[in-house]
Amino acid sequence: MEFLVIILSGVLFATAIYNLLQKQLLRIIIGTVLLSHGAHLMILTMGKLKRGQPPVLTEGVTQYTDPLPQALILTSIVISFGITSLILVLAYRTTQENKTDNMEQLRGNSNE
């Protein structure tokens, strides 16, 4: 089971990177979103899946799912959200100022 999720996460990484390698800004942004999903699922899997009840203390339950990865993912989700929103606004402003959403046209004259 865990292997399935790991593969899922790998696919998310792969598609994310494929998108990151594109020229159009929107695709790149979609890539970043996929990337964070992939990473989060990987964290979850590393704490083993379904080894007990949800980590809310309940009487009579001794076996809980590993709570630590969940806490880490929560932190990470919020941070990713912050970055995504910044990226969206930045992308919007960049496109507006530079009159293009094609990253290849945003190369700039690198060494001058």
Partner 1 sequence: MSNLAVLPIIIPLISAIILVFFNSKTNISRILTRAFSLIGLGVTGYIAWYVIENGSIILETGDWIAPYGIILVVDALSAILVLTTNIVAVACAFYAPHAGLGEKEKFYFYPFFFFLITGVSGAFITGDLFNLFVFFEVLLMASYALIVLGGDKIQFRESLKYLLINLFSSMLFVTAVAFLYGVVGTINMAQIAQRVAEVDQQGILTTIAMLLFFVFATKAALFPLYYWLPNSYVVPNPVVSALFGALLTKVGIYSIIRVFSLIFVHDIHLTHEFFIWIAGLSMIFGVVGALSTNNIKLIVAYNIIPAIGYIIMGIGIFNQEALSGSIYYLMQDMIVKAALFLLVGVIAYVAGTSDLRKMSGLIHHYPVLGWVLFAFAFVLAGIPPFSGFIGKLLLLEGAFADGEIVISIIALLTSLLILYSIIKIFIRGFWGDENAMKNLEKKSTKGLIAPIVFLLVTVVILGVGAEYFYPITDAIAAYLLDPQIYIDSVLKE
Partner 2 sequence: MIYAVFAPLIFALFIPWISKFKNKVHTGIFVFLVPLVIFLYFVQFIGSDFSPIRETIQWIPSLGMNFDFYLDGLSLLFVLLISGIGALVVLYSIYYLSKSEKLGHFYVYLLMFMAAMLGVVLSDNVFVLYAFWELTSISSFLLIGYWNFKERSRYGALKSMMITVFGGLSLLGGFVLLTVITGTTSIQEMISQVDVILSSNYLPLIMAFILLGAFTKSAQFPFHIWLPDAMEAPTPVSAYLHSATMVKAGIFLVARFSPIFSTYEWFFITVSIVGIITLCWGSYMAVRQTDLKGILAFSTISQLGMIMAMLGFGTEAAVFAAIFHILNHATFKGSLFMIAGIIDHETGTRDIRKLGGLFTLMPISATLALFGTFSMAGVPFPFLNGFYSKELFFDSTLGLEGASWLAQAIPYLAVLGSIFTFVYSMYLFFGVFTGPKHLDQLPKKPHEAPIGMLISPIILVLGVILIGLFGDKLNQSFLLHAAQAVNSGVEYHEIYFWHGFITPFIMSLIVVGVGIILFLTMKKWTGVYNILPGRFSFNRVYDRIIEKLDSYSKGITNVYMTGSLKHYMAIILGTTIVVTFTYMYISNGFSISFDNLAEVTFIEVAVIVIIIIGAIATLFINNNIGAILVTGIVGYGVAIMFVLYRAPDLALTQLVVETISIALFLLCFYHLPKLRKREESTSSKLLNLFISGGFGLLIIMIGIAAHSTNLFDSISQYFVENSYKLGGGDNIVNVILVDMRGLDTLFEITVLGIAALAVFGLIKMKKKKEAE
Contact between 85 and partner 2 per CB under 8 A = yes
Distance in angstroms (rounded) separating the CA atoms of residues 58 and 61: 6
Residue closest to 63 by CA, chosen among 46, 44, 48, 42: 48
> Which tokens hold the place of 47?
């704490």
Distance in angstroms (rounded) separating the CA atoms of residues 37 and 73: 10
For residues 45-84, which are near partner 1 according to CB under 8 A? 45-47, 68-69, 72, 75-76, 79, 82-83
Interface with partner 1 by CB under 8 A: which residues?
20, 25, 28, 32, 35-36, 38-39, 42-43, 45-47, 68-69, 72, 75-76, 79, 82-83, 86-87, 90-91, 93-94, 97-98, 103, 106, 108, 110-112
